[in-house]
Structure 1
Amino acid sequence: MIKRISLTIGWLLIITMIVLVGAANYVYDVAINRNDEAIKLYGSEEAVEAVSALEEEQKRLQELRSWTEKQDFEEVEIQSDDGLTLSARYLKNEAPIGKTVILAHGYKGNNEQLPEVTKFYYEKGYDILKPDARGHGKSGGEYIGYGWHDRQDLRKWIDYVIEEKNEKFIFLHGFSMGASTVLMASGEDLPGEVKGIIADSGYTSVEEELAHQLKYLYNLPSFPLMDITSLVTEIRAGFSFEEASALEQVKKKKNNLPLFIIHGDKDELVPSEMAEQLYENTSGMKELWIIPDVGHTQGFLDEEEEYKRRLMGFIEEAMKQ
């Protein structure tokens, strides 16, 4: 009898483990593995609605398209530390003020996005670099790094604009996954030419962000599925969810760079509490702006003039450091 019970329990454990490993690989294929399929994310509906509202402003959209098409973007490439070809678009300003911004896009995005922000920086005299993150756009890579391996890629792009474009004063500005990328990069040894970081709607860690999605999309606890998916990701992509932490990186922020954290208080995709955690755990010059009644990465569109004012004010102060 005891032997039969032990055997039954053993088989149940094996079956459970098979199911969990299968589910973990499914999560990896949907969320980490490179693919062009759009996936449902909790809180993404608000962004879709905001985009739809923007699309109704045909005049504004047409002006953005027309402006973008007229710009002489240069397609540039570098090699990552692990041998990937990384692609970006570089825009040299016709009336430069000696400052450069590197714009980091979000999850499933590409370097053709953020036209409003690109236009704003250009009109202010900035040179602009817009990389495709690994696993996105024209850049190589078979997985999405959620900012972790991308932080090293960003470091290579910084070296590129310093060495090849002779850029002297550089700011990093990221949105969503791109925000977490620039935050993760802050924990690395960055050159003195980098003067400040702007993070709009970034998450604290891959582990916490995916656990948030799992809870609200499927009403499932993070344990044990996230732990097993993290192990699968470590095997297949070379990083774990636990180590991919913007929070831990800002704690050690090696260059003590000025940091501006922006977040909407109606962001359901990445909770605004994450912005507060990031702010509380960093030192040096820092600023936090939680924007009332604004969703995920919608601050620039919904509060454009105030966003621009605060952004330029932060950069002015950062340049004094």
Structure 2
Amino acid sequence: MEEKMILIIPILLLVVLILLIFAGNYFYNFSINPHTTKDKIFDNSKNKGTEVVKKDETSGEDKSEEEWIINTSNYQSIYIKSFDGLKLHGYQILNNEYSYKWAIVVHGYTGEALRMGSRAKAFYEMGYNIIIPDLRAHGKSEGNYIGMGWHDRKDIIEWIQYITNKDENSKILLYGISMGASTVMMTSGEELPSNVKAIIEDCGYTSAWDEFSYQLKNMFKLPKFPIMHASSIITKMRSGYFLKEASSIKQVSKSKTPILFIHGEEDKFVPFFMLDKVYNAAKCEKEILIVKEAGHCKAHKVNPELYWNTIKKFINKYIN
């Protein structure tokens, strides 16, 4: 009997390990691999009891917003190299050659720069030059994995450097929605040049770990242990970071840059309860805007006057 147990235990452990590797790879491909994510995450209707997640709800964007950038803005496509050698694309829209005000406008999860048209236009009309990056593995940028804001934070620093190289007197605003919001929050914890004056995040998550744990329960009715742990290890092996590393909470706690935190009260994709956690973690100058009846990144449509007036008042304190 003891001999049989000695044989059975390693076999069981091996089976468990194989299952965890399979599960970790499955959920990595479901959420981080850009070649497989887009189709899977937006149609989970085959999973009983779950809601279908629409693409615009994850990225916070609308395809109709491309028009202003393509047809009116007189944009220029620009490129930078990332810290790990990727060719990253962005749209540059110059307000006028004398403007020193710049806004880096960052899209959401599985979105792209072109879908930030109305938001970019709003900052343009405030007198800002605009940079709209395609985050790594999105739009026209290279990349084999979604950075969830963590490696993207280093890419945003490169875009900041691009601006300061053009204009050493520039005053820079960082603005992001959804994953882009978490990207600018994660950027806030780095040593930034004094040119960066203010940050606005709209519906960002506390961490990639928290967001995927929430979706694992919401979409699949599964607990985070041990699937999240396996997925995080696979993400480290295939993309170079653990999911807990991609933490907005840890980064905003180090921020020296003023931050405006925005969230829709009816957000079901990045749950509303995450707002208090990132806001309370920040020790910098900060403000908060909660928009009632607004879903994920829909505050600017539900109450545009409140949304943009709050933003204008906030940034005018730091950029004028």
- Normalised by the length of structure 2, the TM-score is 0.91
For 1:242 and 1:220, how far apart are their aligned partners in 2? 18
For 2:283 and 2:7, how far apart are their aligned partners in 1? 56
Who is 1:118 aligned against? 120
Is the 1:75–1:89 contact (alpha carbons within 8 Å) kept by the matching residues of 2? yes
**In the TM superposition, what are the counterparts of 1:1-321 in structure 2 within 5 Å?**
1-35=1-35, 37-40=38-41, 44-45=53-54, 47=56, 65=67, 68-94=70-96, 97-166=99-168, 168-253=170-255, 256-319=256-319
Unaligned stretches of 5+ residues in structure 2: 43-50
Is the 1:99–1:167 contact (alpha carbons within 8 Å) kept by the matching residues of 2? no
For 1:114 and 1:130, how far apart are their aligned partners in 2? 8
Unaligned stretches of 5+ residues in structure 1: 56-60
For 2:71 and 2:55, how far apart are their aligned partners in 1? 28
Alignment RMSD: 2.4
Structure 1's consecutive aligned runs of 4 or more residues displaced over 6 angstroms after TM superposition are none
For 2:273 and 2:68, how far apart are their aligned partners in 1? 38
Is the 1:96–1:125 contact (alpha carbons within 8 Å) kept by the matching residues of 2? no
Deviation at 1:38, TM superposition (A): 3.2
Task: Mark the CA change 1:181 to 1:66 in structure 2 (over 3 Å): closer, same or farther.
Answer: closer
Deviations 1:76-112 (A, max 9, x none): 0111111111110000014865311000100111110
For 1:205 and 1:178, how far apart are their aligned partners in 2? 12
Is the 1:43–1:268 contact (alpha carbons within 8 Å) kept by the matching residues of 2? no
For 1:22 and 1:92, how far apart are their aligned partners in 2? 48
Is the 2:291–2:299 contact (alpha carbons within 8 Å) kept by the matching residues of 1? yes
Task: Mark the CA change 1:289 to 1:15 in structure 2 (over 3 Å): closer, same or farther.
Answer: same
Query: Taking every aligned residue pair, what percent have the same amino acid on both sides?
Result: 37
Paired positions, count:
311
Give the secondary structure class of the aligned counterpart of 1:39. Answer: helix
Is the 2:261–2:275 contact (alpha carbons within 8 Å) kept by the matching residues of 1? yes
For 1:246 and 1:46, how far apart are their aligned partners in 2? 23
For 1:276 and 1:124, how far apart are their aligned partners in 2? 29
For 2:199 and 2:270, how far apart are their aligned partners in 1? 19
Deviation at 1:182, TM superposition (A): 0.3
User: Which amino acid counterpart does residue 296 of structure 2 have in structure 1?
Assistant: H
Is the 2:216–2:222 contact (alpha carbons within 8 Å) kept by the matching residues of 1? yes
Task: Mark the CA change 1:211 to 1:174 in structure 2 (over 3 Å): closer, same or farther.
Answer: same
Task: Mark the CA change 1:10 to 1:307 in structure 2 (over 3 Å): closer, same or farther.
Answer: same
Range that drifts further, 161-170 or 191-200? 161-170
- Normalised by the length of structure 1, the TM-score is 0.90
User: Which amino acid counterpart does residue 277 of structure 2 have in structure 1?
Assistant: Q
Task: Mark the CA change 1:238 to 1:309 in structure 2 (over 3 Å): closer, same or farther.
Answer: same
For 1:218 and 1:233, how far apart are their aligned partners in 2? 19
Task: Mark the CA change 1:224 to 1:39 in structure 2 (over 3 Å): closer, same or farther.
Answer: same
Deviations 1:167-190 (A, max 9, x none): 611000000000000000011010
Deviations 1:269-318 (A, max 9, x none): 11111111000011121011121111000011111111110000100123
For 2:248 and 2:137, how far apart are their aligned partners in 1? 19
For 2:284 and 2:235, how far apart are their aligned partners in 1? 34
For 1:230 and 1:211, how far apart are their aligned partners in 2? 11
Deviations 1:93-148 (A, max 9, x none): 14865311000100111110111111111112110000010111111111110000
Is the 2:69–2:75 contact (alpha carbons within 8 Å) kept by the matching residues of 1? no
For 1:221 and 1:84, how far apart are their aligned partners in 2? 35
User: Which amino acid counterpart does residue 88 of structure 1 have in structure 2?
Assistant: G
Is the 2:208–2:246 contact (alpha carbons within 8 Å) kept by the matching residues of 1? yes
Is the 2:263–2:272 contact (alpha carbons within 8 Å) kept by the matching residues of 1? yes
Task: Mark the CA change 1:209 to 1:286 in structure 2 (over 3 Å): closer, same or farther.
Answer: same
Give the secondary structure class of the aligned counterpart of 2:317. Answer: helix
For 2:262 and 2:238, how far apart are their aligned partners in 1? 33
Deviation at 1:154, TM superposition (A): 0.3
Give the secondary structure class of the aligned counterpart of 1:128. Answer: strand
For 1:48 and 1:223, how far apart are their aligned partners in 2? 26
User: Which amino acid counterpart does residue 268 of structure 1 have in structure 2?
Assistant: K
